[in-house]
Amino acid sequence: MVDINRYSGQIAINDISIDGQKRLSGSTVAVVGIGGNGAIAAELFARMGIGRIRVIDNDSVRENNLHRQFLYGEDDLGKPKVISAAGRLKAINRSVEVDTVNDYLTEKNSASLIRGSSLVYDGTDNFASRYAINSACFDLGIPFVMTSSIQYWGEIIPVLPGKTACLKCLNIPVVEEGSCSRIGIFPTAVVLTAAIAVSAAVSILTGKLEAGYIKIADARNGTVETVITERNPACPVCGKLTYKSG
Amino acid sequence: MKLRVRYFAMFRDIAGVDTLEMDFTGRKVLDLRKIISSANPEFERRGMLIAVNERYAEDSMDLHEGDTVAVFPPVSGG
């Protein structure tokens, strides 16, 4: 049952309408990593009425998170992020079911943590986790949106298994530059990145994503560049996979 | 051939330029990658992704007169 009054603002948009809102309300989104990008995304998912949100993280709230991680405040310092996040998400929208997983996603546990999701929002901060999500999502046929941001910049890659290019298709190199606190991250970068990525997630959940791409967001200059991607038939992860509409 | 090369994200800061016009004597994306890496050794260390005319490009792709090439890093943080 869709709460028409609560979501009237987005139902009024043709792309969403009642049908799209029903899809959102019937969806489960796993947010892996609820730091900069993931925390904003989780809040947006709760506000727009995603039916169930699973927050996955093993970190605690630290003072140097607060300038960019929107779900947390000074009262949350030292607490597990998933606990603080769940409380905030329920306070925003009590009709949303929130599952908490106080654990890091690894190659070993990735499938069990994301199983049953309609979509995975990758808010992690390293390529080992991203490739683990990439593989698990292809094994389980779950679409996902990869996000990353550092300093003023962000990148967003939505992936529909068997339909659009995956991270392996693109052969994205594993480059670990260090933490956001070391390299630097400006809060507008995570806001811009999450806004674009959540829009991509909604496109997937409402069945409207047609082609793969990389978006490169520049929060300093206020620009977003788009690079169209295509699947690689020789990809070891998805080369032989055929897309099945959900 | 003449190419238009654009740098995105932190590559703009590292190269100190957004866009440049280049007289390119090679043939493929790989040839261009080597030229750009030579001028900006930091790029390969950070990982260098390339798009041609707004499409993701592999090193084996041929380049043509007037192509616009985008060069950008994989962003690693979260």
Average pLDDT of chain A, as a whole number = 94
Q: How many domains does chain A have?
A: 1
> What's A74's DSSP letter?
G
User: Chain A residue with minimal CA distance to B56?
Assistant: A229
* Residues of chain B found within 8 Å of residue A125, distances taken between Cβ atoms: 76-78
Active site residue A238: no
B14 in A contact zone (CB under 8 Å): no
**Closest-CA residue in chain A for B50?**
A227
B60 inside 8 A of chain A by CB: no
Residue A106: which region, alpha, beta or left (left: phi > 0; alpha: psi -120 to 50)? Answer: beta
Q: Given A137, A166, A169, A180, which residue is catalytic? A: A180
Nearest-by-CA chain A residue for B45: A175
Q: For residue A243, is it within any domain?
A: no
Return per-residue pLDDT of chain A as tens, 246 residues: 789 999 999 999 999 999 999 999 999 999 999 999 999 999 999 999 999 999 999 999 999 999 999 999 999 999 999 999 999 999 999 999 999 999 999 999 999 999 999 999 999 998 899 999 999 999 999 999 999 999 999 999 999 998 999 999 998 888 766 666 678 999 999 999 999 999 999 999 999 998 999 999 999 999 999 999 999 988 988 887 776 655
B7 vs A: CB within 8 A? no
pLDDT tens for A112-128 read: 999 999 999 999 998 89
The answer to whether residue A234 sits within a structural domain is no
CATH assignment at residue A211: 3.40.50.720
Please tell me if residue B56 touches chain A, with a CB cutoff of 8 Å: yes
User: What are A70's two structure tokens?
Assistant: 């929107």
- Structural domain including A134 reads 8-229
- Burial class of residue B51, CB neighbours in 10 A (0-12, 13-18, 19+): buried
CATH superfamily of B2-72: Beta-grasp domain (3.10.20.30)
